[in-house]
Chain A
Amino acid sequence: MLATIGVGSLQEIFDRQIPEAVRLGRELELPDGLPEQDVYEHLRALASRNTSTEDELSFLGAGMYDHYVPALIDMLMERSEFLTPYTPYQPEISQGGLQVMFEYQTAISELTALPVSNASVYEGPSAVAAAGYLAKLHNGGKRFVVSAGLHPHTIETLRTNAHGYGMEVLEVPLLAGASGGVTDPDAWAEAIDGETSAAIFAQPNFYGAVEDAAALSAAAKASANPVVVAQVDPITLGVLAAPGECGVDVAVGEGQPLGNRLDFGGPSFGFFAAREEYMRRMPGRIAGETIDVDGRRGFVLTLQTREQHIRREKATSNICTSQALNALAGVVYLTWLGRRGIVELGELLLARTHYARERLAAIPGVEKLHEQPVIREFALRIDADVAAVRRRCAPQGVNPGVDVQALSGRPEDRGVLLVAITERRSRADIDRLVDVLGAAVAAETEASVPA
């Protein structure tokens, strides 16, 4: 090979191209390579030091959830034809991937009741930031008005991005008191004016409450015309009214609950759907239908002029690689659930969530944070140190939920525990949670009473 190239040695190829001043000139200080079986043992040893949802009864949620992923998804995602190709730049030999995108877009459009979906973005919070960028390109407003009911990671991500492209972020609080737990409708209406580029809320919100999405959308458009954005939980959309039916312009969210593993936070996918008028401002890839020279139905990446690789500085986003494989898992999952399954699953979650909240709120020292309807997750206020209570549950093999203040950093979240319900948490599991949490709260309360 060297002879064909016309050099005397491999080293010559580097000597002629890399200036001496920047040659490393030593070995990389990394451990030596290992045979496959040793790498496997090492990774297995690391795994064994993690307590997964297989090792404990987990009620952790707050954005990612321990749903059941059917085995056929594992099988499909490992197929070479889906796992190893690149983004479909040569559509003639990428019809598999392009058709999956087209089906995925159809499924998300159905789920959200909005006509246009892209082929996925990275995940939930950055999808909201992308929606903000769309709004900015669309109407050039000055600020985003956001409900404090959005996930703290979403608000933080939006702020980081908005600082870059020069938009303000104004937070509208939740109501407190008896009708508390949802976005303050008066504060919301008042905050939105002619300078508002986008009005953004979550459904359900971070504390598990179901918001009045139609009212929030209507109020946003009453005296101004911002882009109304909702971050929605896809698993609830068999039961909850779809964002497209509630006056929402752009619906985004975290797709992990749809057929994707927890994977310690990623990779998953974000979905992004919108009204027709925003089609040409959508970020990311979109697959479209067309025909070939022989009249055969086929699919291509379309509206590519919006994307970074043609439009460059005028692009609607900079997304190149997105989450195609995870979106595949998403559409297969939705297909597996099917038209009736998504409703049945939603109703099961609704019933179990209600049951769990009622039983837990009956524990002395534990009360509901709010009285709003909940569907898959809810917040409790505990009259004890949440971190300490959780530590008492751990040896029982129970993880009762998320310490909200540790996540949000908000003083008003002190004592708040966020409990997530999935179809994997049976009634018996919930009853066990009640027992363990009850005992932990009681023990913690007693321990902190001065002698």
Chain B
Amino acid sequence: MSQASYPADLLYHPEHDWARIAEEDPEHATLGITWYAQDQLGEVVFFEAPAVGATLTKDEPYTEVESVKAVSDVVAPLSGEIVEVNQAATENPGTINEDPYGEGWLVKVRLSDPAERETLLDAASYKATLAG
């Protein structure tokens, strides 16, 4: 994805991660890294998905994404338990660059504390942190 993009329907963490929580299913969230993160990394060459059942703690790293330039921690925007991982992204890590909010999602979690979503930023506020 060559143009910067920060969909309005997502919630953002200052460490460049996003969460999508569907209105009809507030107990679950899909997580990934933002356009800014994948742009900084360069082409992603390796992503090893964490295990289903693993626990995420908000603000703590839960996995890594590797490019030729760098290895980056991926920080959990919310706490919970992993219920699904994106196998396709491990097989074709370039998806994370091409479609970071769609096909490039990383994990789906069952939230342990849905109220944590209040601490996350909306698209405008997140974009403001990048401008600094």
Contacts and interface: CB of A to CB of B under 8 A. Distances in A.
Direct A–B contact present (CB less than 8 angstroms): yes
Interface of A: 280, 304-306, 310-311, 314
A314 B73 CA distance: 10
A310 B70 contact: yes
Contacts of B71: 305-306, 310-311, 314
Interface residues on B, range: under 10
Nearest to B67: A305
A310 B68 CA distance: 9
Interface string B64-100: 0011111100000000000000000000000000000
Contacts of B6: none
Nearest to A305: B71
Contacts of B68: 304-305
The CB with the most chain B CB atoms within 10 A, among A304, A305, A306, A311, is that of: A305
Contacts of A304: 68
A227 to B, nearest CB: 18
B70 A280 contact: no
Nearest to B64: A314
Contact of B69 (A280, A305, A314): A305
Question: Which 10 pairs, one residue from A and one from B, show the smallest C-beta to C-beta distance?
Answer: A305-B71, A311-B71, A305-B66, A310-B70, A305-B70, A314-B71, A310-B69, A280-B46, A305-B68, A305-B67
A314 B69 CA distance: 14
B51 to A, nearest CB: 14
Nearest to B73: A314
Contacts of A310: 69-71
A352 to B, nearest CB: 49
A304 B68 CA distance: 7
A424 to B, nearest CB: 47
B74 to A, nearest CB: 13
A314 B61 CA distance: 13
Nearest to B48: A280
The CB with the most chain A CB atoms within 10 A, among B46, B66, B67, is that of: B66
Given A310-B70, A310-B71, A311-B71, 13 more contacts: A280-B46, A280-B66, A304-B68, A305-B66, A305-B67, A305-B68, A305-B69, A305-B70, A305-B71, A306-B71, A310-B69, A311-B70, A314-B71
A136 B69 CA distance: 25
12 contacts: A280-B46, A280-B66, A305-B66, A305-B67, A305-B68, A305-B70, A306-B71, A310-B69, A310-B70, A310-B71, A311-B70, A314-B71
